[in-house]
Chains A and B, each alone.
Chain A
Amino acid sequence: MNAKFEKTELAPGVNLYLYPTDKYKTVSIRAFLYTDLEDETSKTAILPEILKKGTKDYPTPRELSKELAKLYGTRMGAGVTKRGETLLADFRMEMVSPKYLEDDSYVQKALKIFKDVIFDPALDDNKFNKTYVEIEKQNLKNRIAAVVNDKQKFAFMKAIENSCPDEAYRISKYGSVEELDKVNEANLYQHYEKIVNNNPMDFYVVGNFDKDKLKPLLTETFKINRQQVTSIKKPINSKAQPLNEIVHDMEVKQGRLVMVMKTPVTMNNNSYPALLMYNGILGGFTHSKLFQNVREKASLAYYAGSNIETLKGMVFLFAGIDKETYKETLDIMNQQLEDIKAGKISEKEMEYTLAGLKNSLSETIDEVGGQIGLQVDGGLVGRRWEIEELLSELKNVKKEDVVEVANSLEVDTIFFLRPKEEQ
């Protein structure tokens, strides 16, 4: 557990994490309701959209947003986040720190609204509002269809679908249009009751507040009456499939190449720091092999790099290129993978990557979202890394460790979104 966060158990499966600091001019609250990604995905996805429309006290979006505006522009948001095979309904509130205002009664009012959004929503006859449910169903359908608009995201999505055909991870966080069609105000409310009463929840409060004053208020506000907790599946460490090369033609100007690799190393593993180093050397930075060789030396791309899905042990390589240079780019990428496996890693690459990772992890220390994100991911995989711990472990990573990670990786999918011939 990160030393900064003070943990209190509010009810079975419901925890409160507090982190007071005078760095910020605000108080931020986040609540996460954990669900299995495959457990009626679309219903979980639509819920935050409905819940943020109104509470019993402020039953319409207009009344609710007016009230929040009065509380010095207190911001509230809700949505879903996919992490591995888990879908998190995610509620956020941010308000001005009471330090800057003479009257602090708005804090209590804002907290009450936050609680009511989750636990005391506006209802019509024990169901959600039919109109809002219909509108938000359509909104989510549009969002599902909109994946085609962001060509880079689209290429990633297609690559994942092909790479994880048997894992829930392939599913969109909004579920599917077919699933959405079946959602109505009554069955949505049933799903809501089921997860809000049984699924694990975490509350995080970070910011400029007086702990002695706020803690009793939070404990009181979020005290939830529940007996049992549904357990949530852990993220699946993805296994490599036989190599699959897919080309998808589309009317685009630029081709998007995505390559997927799998490794047994995840965040829940002692070699995790070595995986971070590996990704940094391969494509995390501008000094990395992919940026240097695909962009700087061959001038084939504006962007070329790699990133990791740390919960599942997946590494993605990507570049935006011309259609004609597909083979050439792929050859360069494969060469980089081979080079790392063969230990062709310079002192410079090790040193720069360490410095880069050190910088980006240290930046997280200043960021509310980054800190909380690391905690949440750690909770899901069952191993929480402290930033300080990661920093010191990274220093101990040797070239051999990186080579070992490299050799544990297998390419299973190559996806190319290819520009159609011009007519």
Chain B
Amino acid sequence: MLNSYEYKKIDESYFSFTMPNGLQVFYIPRPNYKKSFAVFSTDFGGIDFKTDLMTLPPGIAHFLEHKLFENPNGNVEDDFSKLGISVNAFTTHNNTSYYISCTSNFYEGLELLLDFVQTPYFTDQNVKKEQGIIAQEIEMYRDDANWVGYLNLLNGLYPNHPINKDIAGAKDDILQVDVDMLNETFGQYYNPLNMALFVIGDIDIERLYEFVAENQQKKKFEEAPKYQRNFKQDEFIPNEKKVSIDMEISRNILNFGFKDKQVEEAGKELFEKEITTLLGLETLVGKSSKLYNDLYENRIIDDSFSIEYTTETGYGHTIFSCETEDPMKTYSILKERFQEAVNQGLDEEDFIVNKRKIQGITLMELNSLENVVLGFMGEHFRGGRFFDKNEIIEKITFEKVEKRIKEHLDFKMSALSVVNNKAR
């Protein structure tokens, strides 16, 4: 059954179909493009090492991502190289995705992609080899002060939620990984019912359908997965909990974040919450706000200042980050100024301007095939539809945004993380 959806206003459309084995496929047309992307994803990520039924070492999803690239002949990257196709993968807190980008040989590449992700090959020896490689990857990130500061903040915000662990795990965690664990998680989470394929480019939809159908028919899978993701909310109230560490860097890094109190939303509601929050943050302290410009001109913040809001069902947080000479002093000024601005309420004119800005930027971001296909992927697993974004923005009112900001930026729900530059 082939379904098609059209979004006339933004000149976008997509098609979807479901295979008999449960695998969902989405295709977004990009006529006249040389490049095409296929992303094969599972709803399994860094947070999924702990379920009601089992506990595995943190980093298991990422380990599995690495290991699926291996086949009895060696590394599958070789087969892609032969076709001149680049292949890569990444693991987020919630998902694992494998993707190819190519300008020719699309179906050969797609077949390899579907096959290597769905055909595990784990041996004691190749697991051991991967431990060495992943250990180096972990070390590399451990030298990245921004990443360390971010992880420490998540630890402060969520002491009881698996999001507080590094997606790749720690060196000790990955040494525990063995073939059985990989087989167990593969069987559970790489079930077609838990996966989806996303394609963008200049592709014939009928042929795509037949191709995927034929490929999937050849494979057998276990019955539906039995583990459920742990959606339980972390009830901990961080109340400005502080985590700090010393590293050899040029300046101190301050991160502070606010944890969402309500995290049950899914689908369109979750998408709406995300956009409302982003619009609110932009209005409060974006580049065209009074607050941002005051802070910048008075040299409390500089161009290292950044804002990020992330949400999924089960968690959600805003993180402010900046480099500073005196993190605690900067924090106390920012706290005071934020509270003041939130109490006073947002500027309605700024809100209108920012709404227009976000509408324009949403359109501009449709230029990038990568952005579109990955955005579409993320939204699919959250239960929403990526192309609804413009319509959602249009309906957001000033009152909603103001209410959301007042409720969200509550310092009782905040934690902070400082990376101190150790004297060299």
Q: Write the residues of chain A forming the contact surface with B, with a CB cutoff of 8 angstroms.
A: 22-26, 60-62, 65-66, 68-75, 94-96, 100, 131, 135, 138-139, 142, 145-151, 250-254, 285-287, 295-296, 299-303, 320-322, 348, 351-352, 354-360, 362-363, 365-366, 368
Q: Which B-chain residue is minimally distant from A66 (CB atoms)? A: B288
Interface band, chain B: 35 or more
Chain B 44-84 interface mask (CB, 8 Å, partner A; 1/0)? 00000000000000000000000000000011011001111
Given contacts A62-B290, A135-B296, A352-B84, 20 further A-B contacts (CB under 8 A): A23-B32, A61-B287, A73-B358, A73-B364, A75-B364, A142-B304, A151-B143, A250-B248, A252-B248, A254-B136, A254-B140, A296-B75, A302-B133, A351-B82, A355-B83, A355-B85, A356-B86, A359-B85, A365-B34, A365-B103
Interfacial chain A residues near B297, Cβ < 8 Å: 131, 135
- List chain A residues, Cβ under 8 A from B350: 66
Q: Does B277 sit at the interface, judged by CB under 8 A?
A: no
A63: nearest residue on chain B (CB-CB)?
A: B288
Contact, CB under 8 Å: B250 / A96: no
In the complex, chain A residues whose CB is within 8 Å of the CB of B85: 355, 359
Contact B288 A253 (CB under 8 A): no
A301 to B272, alpha carbons, bound, how many Å? 42
CB pair A146 B251 closer than 8 Å = yes
Q: Does B422 contact A (CB under 8 A)?
A: yes
Could you say which of B136, B139, B287 has the most chain A C-beta atoms within 10 Å of its C-beta?
A: B136
Known pairs A131-B297, A302-B136, A356-B84; A148 contacts B360 (CB<8 A) = no
Bitwise, B386-424 to A at CB < 8 A (1) or not (0) is 000000000000000000000000000000000000100
Q: Are A25 and B364 in contact (CB under 8 A)?
A: yes
User: Can you name 17 A-B residue pairings with CB atoms under 8 Å?
Assistant: A24-B367, A69-B288, A69-B356, A72-B359, A73-B364, A95-B364, A100-B363, A146-B250, A147-B250, A149-B144, A254-B143, A300-B132, A356-B86, A359-B103, A362-B34, A362-B103, A366-B33
B40 to chain A, nearest CB (A): 18
Q: Tell me, yes or no, whether B137 is within 8 Å of chain A by CB.
A: yes
Give which listed residue, A250, A299, A360, contacts B86 with CB less than 8 A: A360
In the bound complex, do residue B83 and residue A25 qualify as a contact, i.e. CB atoms below 8 Å apart? no
Q: Summarize B's interface: helix, strand, loop or mixed.
A: helix
A189 to chain B, nearest CB (A): 20
Q: Are B103 and A363 in contact (CB under 8 A)?
A: yes
Q: Does B263 contact A (CB under 8 A)?
A: no
Which residue of chain A has its CB nearest to the CB of B86? A359
Q: Which residue of A is nearest B145, CB measured? A: A149
Closest CB in chain A relative to B335 CB, distance in Å: 22
With CB as the reference atom, state the residue of chain B lying closest to A250. B248
Q: Give Cα A205–Cα B320 distance, bound, in whole angstroms.
A: 35
- Residues of B within 8 Å of A25, CB to CB, are 10-11, 363-364, 366-367
* Shortest CB distance B78–A (Å): 6
Contacts of B369 in A (CB 8 A): 366
Smallest CB separation, B303 vs chain A (Å): 5
